[in-house]
Structure 1
C-alpha cells in the first residue's frame, strides 16, 4: 500500500539517471500483460483517485506517468528513452531504440496506447545526401504488449533539427511542428499529402528569431484548439502565436514578444486552457527563465501572469501540463526531474530522470486536457472524463470566428 501526503514531496523509488538500457534496446513491460493486470491497491496519488482500468487494458491500478528524454547522454552520445512508470517509480515500459524522443501523447479511446515522435540520425548514404540527416518517426505503442506501429516518417537535415511535436488531429491525420522548415502542417498519413500548411515566413520578418534559415523559429509545439485555430510555439521569437487556418497569424492574440524576456524566454510546450475551464489561459514552460508560468487573457485582450512556479533546482524546464486536479506536471530537463506541483506550490511527487523532454499522466487526455486555470475554483473534469473541446475531427473541421 502506498500513501502519499500532499504536504511533503514523494520521491519515486527508482532513480532513472542510472538506468541501464536493456539488450536490443527494448524491454517488455515488467510482469504486465493484457489479460493479467495488477490488482488495485487503493492508492491515492497527489490528489488523484486510484484508477481501476478494465482488465483488458493490462495496466495496474493507480496513476501512471509516461515520459520521454531527449538530452540524456552516455559516453558523449545521446542515449534517450520512452518510459512509463508507476507512482513509486517502478518501470512498466521502457524503449531506447531511437536516439531522441520528444513529444508523447495518450491515444484517445485507449487505456494503454501512446503516440510519440522521435528520431534517429542517419548517415549521408542513408539520407541520399552529402550530409547526415534525421529520420523523424511518429509511432504508437501499446504499453501492455510492447507492440509498436509506425504512422509516418520523414527525413530532415541535421542542421535544422528533429521534430519536437506531432499531434493526432483526426483519423489518419497528424499536425506537425516542422522545426526544420519553420512550418506547421497537417499531413494525411495515407496519401502523404499536406492538407494544410502555415509557414512562419508568411507572417514574420526574417530578421526576427535565430539565424535564417538554419534555426530561425525553432518551432517546437503545435496544438489544435477547440475553435479550429492552431497554437504554435515559436521558441526563437519568444512567442506563443495563434494561427487562423484560413487567415493566418492573429497578431492581437500573440503571447510574448522577441527579446521581451520578462514575459517569455525561449519557451517550450504551451498548453491552452479554454474559457470553460477558467481561461483563455496558457500554461507554458518558460525555459530560459527557469520557471513554469500561466498567463490568462483579460476581457480587454491582454495577457496577464496568473501563476508561476520555480525553485532553486529548476533548470531549463520544457513541459508543464495542468492536471485535472489543478496540479501541474513539469519536466525539469537540466534539473534532472519530472515532478508534480500542487496549486499551492508544494512538490507532491517527483522522479529523478536526466534530460526529460515531455511527460503525460495516463487517463487525463492529450496534454492533460481537463486541467483548470489557476484559481478558477478547482478541477473542471475528473481524470479520464469528458473534454469540452470536442473531438479532434470536429476541431479540425471548425472555422475560427
Structure 2
C-alpha cells in the first residue's frame, strides 16, 4: 500500500509539472502576430525603412484551423519601429510587392476560405485574389480574384504586375502560369507545367498537389522565373517558346533545393546573375551564381533556430531580409551573417522592405559581397524561438510545427505527450489495483478479488 501511495504521488507530481510547463507557454502566448502577451500593440526595433510582413497564420489555433481568429495578418512597421498598418481581413496573406512609383502602396495576394453555401454546395473552396493597399490611408483596391475548388493546395501564393492592367499569376491550383488582363478578365497567355514535365515521374502527388507552383517573378530580360516547389526546381519561361532549356536551377536532388519558396533573381550589371532562395525543407538560405550557364552555389546560411524559411531578400546595403516561418520571426542579416534586426511574428510567409526595390532587385549578389557561409553549428540568436531538431528530419519537424498552435514548440509537445503517457499508465495501474475483477465473458460478472 505504501508503494502504491508513492507511485500515486510521483504520477501526480509529474502531471503537475507537465501541466505547469504547457500552461506557462499558453499563458505567455501573444494574442496576435503583432501584439505582446498583454495585448498591447507591438513596437519593434527601428529599421532602415518600412517593413511589410504577410502571415500564413492563425495565432491561437493550428495553422489550418478555421475556428476563432482563423484569419492571418498583414502588418507594416515603420522605420521608427512603430506599427504603421495592420489588417486581418483575409484567411491567408501571401506575397507582398511594392507598387512602383509610390512610397507606401503595396500589392499582395490573399486567400479566403469560403463556406459550403458560397462554394455552390462543395465542401471547400477558396477565393484567391490580388489587392492593393495604401499603408498610410488604409485605402484598399481589389485588382483581380477567382474562386478555386478545394483549399490546401489551391491557394495562389504569388502574382507579379506586368503593366497597369496585366498580371502574371502563379496558379497553384491548375499547375500553370498565366497572364491576365485585369480590365477585360481575359487570360492572354498561359504555360501548363505538363508541357515540360511528366506527372508520373516528377513532382508531388498528382493531381492533388503536383507542382505546388508557389512563386513567379518577371525578370528584366522578359523571362518569367517560376518556383515549382514539389519538383525542387526553379524554371525560366519564355512567353514565345515556353520552358528555357538548360536554364533550370535544381534537378530534383534535395542537396540542391528541397521544396523551396520565393526564389529572388538578382540582376548583376557586372555579369554573373544569381538566385537567392529560401531552401525551406533544408532549413537554410542558399544562393546560386550563374557562371556561364551553370548554377554554382555561392552562399549558404542557417542557424540553429532557422526552421522552414520561406523568403529571403537581398537589400541594397548588402543585408539579407529573412522570413523564418516556423521560427516565428522576420530578421535581417548583415554581411558577416549576424542578425542585426529581428521581430517576432507568428508564422510569417513573406516580408518586404519598402524603398529597396521589388524583392531582391536592389541588392548585390553574395559572390560580390564576399558573404560568409554559416551552418547550424555556428552562432545563433537565442530569443525564445524553436530550434532545429538533430533527431528528426527537417520535413518531419516542419510538418509538426505546421499543425501545432503558434505558442506550442517541440518542448511543449514532448511534455504534453509525456503527461498523457503518465496519465494513461496511472489510470491502468488504478484499474489493476481495484478490489474487484471484471469479467467480460458471457455472462458479464463483477467479483471481488481474493
8 Å Cα contact 2:57/2:73 also seen in 1: no
1:273 is matched with which residue: 266, 289, 307? Answer: 266
- Counterpart CA distance in 2 for 1:344 and 1:254 is 30
Paired position in structure 2 for 1:250: 244
1:68 is matched with which residue: 31, 54, 71? Answer: 54
Alignment partner of 1:232 is 2:231: no
Q: How does 1:210-359 map to 2 (within 5 A)?
A: 210-258=204-252, 260-276=253-269, 279-299=272-292, 301-359=293-351
Give the drift of 1:125. 1.9
Give the drift of 1:173. 1.0
Give structure 2 stretches of 5+ with no counterpart: 1-27, 35-40, 371-450
Q: Mark the CA change 1:252 to 1:20 in structure 2 (over 3 Å): closer, same or farther.
A: closer
- Counterpart CA distance in 1 for 2:61 and 2:46 is 39
- Counterpart CA distance in 1 for 2:262 and 2:358 is 12
8 Å Cα contact 1:270/1:282 also seen in 2: yes
- Counterpart CA distance in 2 for 1:278 and 1:311 is 30
Secondary structure of 1:170's counterpart equals coil
Secondary structure of 1:201's counterpart equals helix
- Please state which structure has a larger fraction of its residues in helix: 2
Paired position in structure 2 for 1:57: none
Stretches (4+) displaced over 4 A? 19-22
- TM-align CA RMSD: 2.2
Instruction: Decide which structure has the larger Cα Rg and report it.
Output: 2
8 Å Cα contact 1:277/1:372 also seen in 2: no
1:199 is matched with which residue: 182, 192, 201? Answer: 192
Q: 1:329-382: per-residue Cα shift (whole Å, max 9, x none)? A: 00000001100011211111010111000000011121141111113259xxxx
Alignment partner of 1:167 is 2:160: yes
Paired position in structure 1 for 2:119: 127
8 Å Cα contact 1:133/1:157 also seen in 2: yes
8 Å Cα contact 2:46/2:79 also seen in 1: no
8 Å Cα contact 2:272/2:291 also seen in 1: no
Aligned residues: 328
1:80 is matched with which residue: 72, 77, 92? Answer: 72
Give the drift of 1:131. 2.6
Paired position in structure 1 for 2:376: none
Q: 1:134-180: per-residue Cα shift (whole Å, max 9, x none)? A: 10121001001111000111011225321100111101111100000
